[in-house]
Structure 1
Amino acid sequence: MNNKVILGAVGVVVVLAVGFAGYRYMQIQAAAKKWAGPHKEIVEEKITKEGQVTTTRFVSIVDAPLAAVEKALGEPERSQESIENITLSKLLKSEGNKKVVEMNLRALNLPLQYYTMEFTMYPDQHRITFKTVESQAQDIEGEYKLEGSPDGTRTRIEYSSKSRDKIAVPLPQSVIDGANRETFVNTIRGLKKSIKAGG
């Protein structure tokens, strides 16, 4: 083979690789834009990033009694049954008011994320805290605060978290925010689905 043929073949491979990478980047950006706008599941939102730490706060109102919402959120090991982007939720340990759950999460078109999470339930305070025990890309710590409406038919869910990146993420912050937003929206939708099914 002559050098021109080899260089031509290498050039074609490089163009195809760059084209594919560009296509994947555009797919991820499009998915992030889908989750950038207002959602009926989110009535309040605040996301800030300072250095490697992202602080997130979402509020949702669910048309279900406090006890039903608290029961559904208190079973994180069942998340994969109703939350679209959780592909695995396996109970590893349950002791008192604590549960350790292995979770796999896919947000947007990003790679699958693997977490081992510890959830602690405080039923008298209508609060559930969570933190990572083990993860690949970030450490997360946060809580769900629940408040029932005066008529007992609705529940206000306030989600707040701080996540610290363990590795440099080569994506725009808008994509990360979109992934967090998608995960929260899918959690609320899954919660409603679980409550409706009686679980």
Structure 2
Amino acid sequence: MKAILAIVGIVLLAVVAWVFVKYRAIQQAATGPAKEIVSESLEKTGDTWHAKFVSKFDAPLDKVFDAFQHPERIAEFAPENVMKAEVKEDKGSTKVVEVIGTLDILPPGFKVQDLVTEYTVYPDEHRITSHTIDFKLADINSEYKFEPTADGKTLLTFTQTSKQKQQALVEALQKGAIRETYITQVRAANRALGLAPMPEKRAAG
């Protein structure tokens, strides 16, 4: 009997430890420091998240602005998170892109997400807007504003509203997913600009 109780105790301890590790990982993804972000604000009102992120790139305005005008290339520069990115429609300053990607913070059944987004570029304003056309988790509207800095670098101010369609995910997961998605975009842009290394290719098999 003592042996059985000891085994049960070990199993319970292992489960508690696993839950604690997962909780810490979720909190880290939702609020932990990230080198891709200079400042941030992420708050929820009702069923809608309001996000604002600011990032700085060690590259001139035109190059950074150009890097963000090709969201279909994110699979090339963030292969560890994006499995597919394809232009479905291109009308010059406006394009529709389908992306299939993974969000590590989300639980099984939610990790792989497929979303279709329309992007509009405003070259004279160095600004890009986007909104989701087809995404099962939320209706998302975003704006990217690019400004030059005095030292020849670029500041990106990203704002977003994300109206949740499902309440299956706890708020920490929703918050972490929004943050992780933004960080992936910044990381991909840095790689496209040659400012960050590409991930190592996984060995076949």
Q: Which of the numbers 181, 184, 188 marks the counterpart of 1:183?
A: 181
Task: State the superposition RMSD in angstroms.
Answer: 2.5
**Structure 2 length-normalised TM:** 0.78
Q: State how far apart, in whole Å, the 2-side matches of 1:22 and 1:77 are.
A: 41
Match of 1:128 in 2: 128
Residue 49 of structure 1 corresponds to which residue in structure 2?
A: 44
Alpha-carbon deviation of 1:96?
2.0
Specify every segment of 5 or more residues in structure 2 that has no aligned partner in the other structure, as ranges. Answer: 1-10, 196-205
Partner of 2:114: 114
Counterparts in 2 of 1:24 and 1:168: CA distance versus 1, 3 Å: farther
Q: What TM-score do the two structures reach when normalised by structure 1?
A: 0.81
Choose from 25, 34, 46 the match for 2:28: 34
Matched residue SS, 1:196: coil
* Identity of matched residues, %: 33
Correspondence 1:153-168 to 2 at 5 A: 153-168=152-167
Describe how 1:1-199 pairs up with structure 2 within 5 A.
28-35=22-29, 36-83=31-78, 84-110=80-106, 111-151=111-151, 153-171=152-170, 173-196=171-194
How far apart, CA to CA, are the structure 2 residues paired with 1:72 and 1:166? 30
Post-superposition CA distance 1:129-175 (Å, at most 9, x none): 00011111111001100001134x3100111100111122332x222
Give the deviation of 1:43 after TM superposition: 1.1
Amino acid at match of 1:92: K
1:108, distance to aligned residue in structure 2 (A): 2.4
Alpha-carbon distance in structure 1 between the residues aligned to 2:134 and 2:20? 31
| Structure 1 unmatched ranges of 5 or more | 1-15
Equivalences, count: 179
CA 1:79/1:160 → structure 2, altered by over 3 Å: closer, same or farther? Answer: same
